[in-house]
Amino acid sequence: MAGETAESGRIHNDLRAGGAAWGRVLGYLKAEVGETAYRSWLQQLRIERIDDGEAVVAAPTRFMRNWVQTHYADRLLQLWRVENPAVDRLSVIVDAKAAAPPRPRAPDPAAAEAASPSEIAADNATLSAPLDPRFTFENFVVGKPNEMAHAAARRVAEACAEPTPQVPFNPLFLYGGVGLGKTHLMHAIAWHVRNNAPRRKVIYLSAEKFMYQFIRALRFRSTLDFKEQFRSVDLLMIDDVQFISGKESTQEEFFHTFNALVDQNRQIVITADKSPVDLEGLEEPMRSRLGWGLAADIHPTTYELRLGILQSKAEQAGLSLPPKLMEFLAHKIVSNVRELEGALNRITAQMQLTGREVTLESTQELLRDLLRASERRVTIDEIQKRVAEHFNIKMAEMTSSRRARVVARPRQVAMYLAKQLTSRSLPEIGRKFGGRDHTTVMHAVRKIEELIASDRALAEDVELLRRMLQS
């Protein structure tokens, strides 16, 4: 990359005090957090100074400062102390110089003029796809798996609705599996901007529609018109760009549009099912350009998030469901939020048709196909094997009677996962674990549930295992 030498030159100058050490600290952290998180949060950090035992690190934006402060500061300090034990504090400050300076945009004079809603609608409707009225920030339930994506989306929405629009990171790249809320977040950004800064021009398009429009423009030799439509856009959002990959001419057009907008400091938001690094069939310049801003990953849902979403949706629909039933659904329908909504819709319809209260039994019957589809054929043997590997214990410990914590805890995790991921009953699970009693299994399930709420590291282990087993 062309900026590489200037960048490292600057770092060297800044770091008479310990540049090499800082480089190593970042290197260690990169190995721990992975490429994507590193690029999103750490790469742009600069060591500002070391003063009297305090290391001062600069981040380019306030949002990044806050994020680094809450998520990485402790670890940075620990690693830093290995390099230099004299350092005992670390603070993160905002330093706009740390990033390429965004070109300020003149306040939009048109924003001051009142516009009729129909005018605005007509203006925005030229290209933009319709927005789903339910997909707002208010209706989006935030949990650990989507916390970062949500925060970033909010930040972009608010910045774009300011009197002088700001561009906190360009592009914002949201990625994750199907049905996890990517489109919802994009629409939410659009709604926020429309409601708070109605004159701003927002285009929301699926990548497929973008492609279709472009190809049509080619056919009718109206590519100039096509380009014209994007020229004045303040916020461009393209959904599911994985569908652009492979189509070279469209990719190129997209790339040009993208570059032109970034150069004019217009906000771009992109979603895809994979990170920029992992998107296949994408030309290299496009791929690296997509990774320049902030890439935020939406993780698969957790039980807590699913339960939260169910409660919120049931409430919106004016539905009162027994808590046990919601817990059951949150446990069983793990694939994505769309299926969870599907289940809820069916239950609503059933209640309205029959006028009867729903029970756990009637729900099981009603959702039999959904529940079965959700139940990946994971076996208890597989679970035991994976869990043993993960915690580095012998497979035989899964059935042994040893009670030392190092083996008992993994065993409990395996029982918990067996309960969650298979349809086996408690006694059946107990039998598979060296003939244990069903109350032992129940105890294990409760114990792990408790620990997941209080012990972050364990919660992550369990989530990781669950994902591995289900993929």
Q: How far is the CB of 239 from Mg ion (least distance, A)?
A: 6
d(CA 35, CA 201): 34
Q: How far is the CB of 182 from Mg ion (least distance, A)?
A: 5
Q: How far is the CB of 273 from ligand ADP (least distance, A)?
A: 8
d(CA 133, CA 187): 8
8 Å CB contact between 21 and 64: no
Going by the DSSP 8-state scheme, the letter that residue 242 receives in this structure is G
Q: Give CA separation, 270 vs 8, 159, 237, in Å.
A: 29, 17, 6
Task: Return the number of the residue (303 or 433) whose C-beta is nearest ligand ADP.
Answer: 303
* 336 binding Mg ion? (CB under 5 A): no
Instruction: Find the residue with minimal CB distance to Mg ion.
Output: 183
d(CA 398, CA 407): 8
Beta bridge partners of 203: 236
Q: How far is the CB of 180 from ligand ADP (least distance, A)?
A: 4
Q: Which stretch binds ligand ADP (CB under 6 A): 45-53, 73-81, 132-140, 151-159?
A: 132-140
Q: With CB cut-offs between 5 and 8 Å by kind, which of Mg ion, ligand ADP, none does residue 426 bind?
A: none
Task: Return the number of the residue (295 or 429) whose C-beta is nearest ligand ADP.
Answer: 295
Q: How far is the CB of 337 from ligand ADP (least distance, A)?
A: 3
Phi-psi region of 45 (alpha: psi -120 to 50; beta: other; left: phi over 0): beta
Task: Return the number of the residue (79 or 270) whose C-beta is nearest ligand ADP.
Answer: 270
What part of residues 176-195 is at the interface with ligand ADP (CB under 6 A)?
Answer: 178-184
- Helix axes 303-316 and 323-332, enclosed angle (nearest 10): 130
What part of residues 334-353 is at the interface with ligand ADP (CB under 6 A)?
Answer: 337-338, 341
Q: How far is the CB of 66 from ligand ADP (least distance, A)?
A: 21
C-alpha triplet 294, 29, 288: angle, nearest 5° = 35
Q: How far is the CB of 148 from ligand ADP (least distance, A)?
A: 13
d(CA 191, CA 199): 12
Task: Return the number of the residue (181 or 430) whose C-beta is nearest ligand ADP.
Answer: 181
d(CA 432, CA 381): 8
Going by the DSSP 8-state scheme, the letter that residue 16 receives in this structure is G
Q: With CB cut-offs between 5 and 8 Å by kind, which of Mg ion, ligand ADP, none does residue 35 bind?
A: none
* 183 binding Mg ion? (CB under 5 A): yes
* Window 303-332: contact mask with ligand ADP (x via CB under 6 A): ------x-----------------------
What part of residues 397-426 is at the interface with ligand ADP (CB under 6 A)?
Answer: none
DSSP character string of 179-234: TSSHHHHHHHHHHHHHHH-TTS-EEEEEHHHHHHHHHHHHHTT-HHHHHHHHHT-S
Q: Nearest Cα to 445, choosing from 465, 470, 466, 415?
A: 415
Task: Return the number of the residue (40 or 183) whose C-beta is nearest Mg ion.
Answer: 183
Q: With CB cut-offs between 5 and 8 Å by kind, which of ligand ADP, Mg ion, none does residue 409 bind?
A: none
Instruction: Find the residue with minimal CB distance to ligand ADP.
Output: 181
**E strand or H helix that includes residue 46:** strand 46-51
Q: Which residue has the tokens 């005992």?
A: 88
Pairing assessment for the beta strands 235-239 and 267-272 based on DSSP bridges: parallel
SS3 175: strand
Q: With CB cut-offs between 5 and 8 Å by kind, which of Mg ion, ligand ADP, none does residue 61 bind?
A: none
CA atoms within 13 A on the CB side of 310: 30
Q: How far is the CB of 269 from Mg ion (least distance, A)?
A: 12
d(CA 155, CA 310): 26
Task: Return the number of the residue (165 or 176) whose C-beta is nearest Mg ion.
Answer: 176
**E strand or H helix that includes residue 71:** helix 62-71
Quick one: how far is CA 90 from the chain centroid?
Answer: 28
* Residues that contact ligand ADP, how many (by CB under 6 A): 16
Q: How far is the CB of 181 from Mg ion (least distance, A)?
A: 8
Q: Which stretch binds ligand ADP (CB under 6 A): 120-128, 173-181, 209-217, 223-231?
A: 173-181
Q: How far is the CB of 183 from ligand ADP (least distance, A)?
A: 3
* 412 binding Mg ion? (CB under 5 A): no
Task: Return the number of the residue (101 or 130) whose C-beta is nearest ligand ADP.
Answer: 130
Which residues contact Mg ion (rule: CB under 5 A)? 182-183
Contact positions vs ligand ADP (CB under 6 A): 135, 139-141, 146, 178-184, 309, 337-338, 341
